[in-house]
Amino acid sequence: MDYNFQFNVVWRNFDALLEGAWLTLQLGVFAFTCGCLIGLVGAACLSFAPRPVRWLVHAFVIFITNTPALIQIYFLYFGLPEFGIRWSNEACVLIGLTLNAGAYLTMILRAGFLSVRQTEMEAGETMGMSLPQRIRYIVVPHIAKSIYPALANFFIVILVMGTSVGAVIGVDELTGQAINLSTVNYRWLEYFTIVALMYVVLTFIASIGLALLGRWAFRVKARIF
């Protein structure tokens, strides 16, 4: 191979990449957390709300999951200004990713609502627990425990695939930073090799964090690998 790797260039700008990675992590955690809340409300509606509300939730899920995240974020960034709504590129990615995650998580969490033991819900009901209380104390721990691996996987999907969409509208997350920097000195291969490794490290840290959280908060005996 003739290519002469020059990683020095990358190390000189490593701080910028670290900043990008930090932003990626923040975007991922925010979108996932808010997405979980949306998903929880959505899934609860699908189980307990009257029909018109269920239709609305279904429409939201179908609309979001059947269009590319890229298009949704383009719409927020380039489309909304036509209607006088102007958000920063970071806000657009954040909102787009959150809505996207919310739709997918509605369906993921729905599985949890459907598999909760009806008998436990009845016991809670006869003990005077309100529906929100039953969701909080019976359904949520059940979901956390029974579909924790699916949730953790989805977090990784958002962290790696979701956030990198930000690069196309100039958000300086990890992929964005790599593009910015390599455009300056054409060391694409070096930058993207290092960035790929950084994504691996990021997912690794996130996986361990999620496994520990699951074990500590929800008694999930998750294996890290």
Partner 1 sequence: MPHLAVNDIHANYGALAVLHGIGFEVDRGEVVSLVGPSGSGKSTVLRALVGLTLVTGGSVEVDGTRIDYAAPRAVKAARDRMAIVFQQYNLFQNMNVLRNVTLAPTKVKGRKRAEVEAEAMELLKLVGMEHKAQAYPDELSGGQQQRVAIARALALKPEILLLDEVTSALDPELVNEVLDAIRRLAGEGMTMLLVSHEMSFVREVSSKVVFMDAGRVVEAGPPDAIFDAPSSERARDFFGKVLR
The nearest distance, CB 179 to partner 1, in angstroms, is 45
Residue 63's alpha-carbon distances to 73, 101, 178, 216, in angstroms, are 14, 13, 32, 36
- The set of residues, in sequence order, having a beta carbon less than 8 Å from that of 45 and lying 6+ positions away, is 53, 54, 57
- The set of residues, in sequence order, having a beta carbon less than 8 Å from that of 123 and lying 6+ positions away, is none
Residue 209 binds partner 1, judged by CB under 8 A = no
Residue 111 binds partner 1, judged by CB under 8 A = no
**Burial of 2: CB neighbours in 10 Å, binned 0-12, 13-18, 19+:** exposed
Among 126, 216, 223, 225, the residue binding partner 1 under the rule CB under 8 A is: 126
The nearest distance, CB 5 to partner 1, in angstroms, is 52
Residue 128 binds partner 1, judged by CB under 8 A = yes
H or E element, residue 74: helix 69-74
The nearest distance, CB 10 to partner 1, in angstroms, is 47
Residue 120 binds partner 1, judged by CB under 8 A = yes
Instruction: Using CB under 8 A, count the residues that bind partner 1.
Output: 19
Q: Return residues touching partner 1 (CB under 8 A).
A: 117, 119-120, 122-129, 133, 137-138, 141-142, 145, 218-219
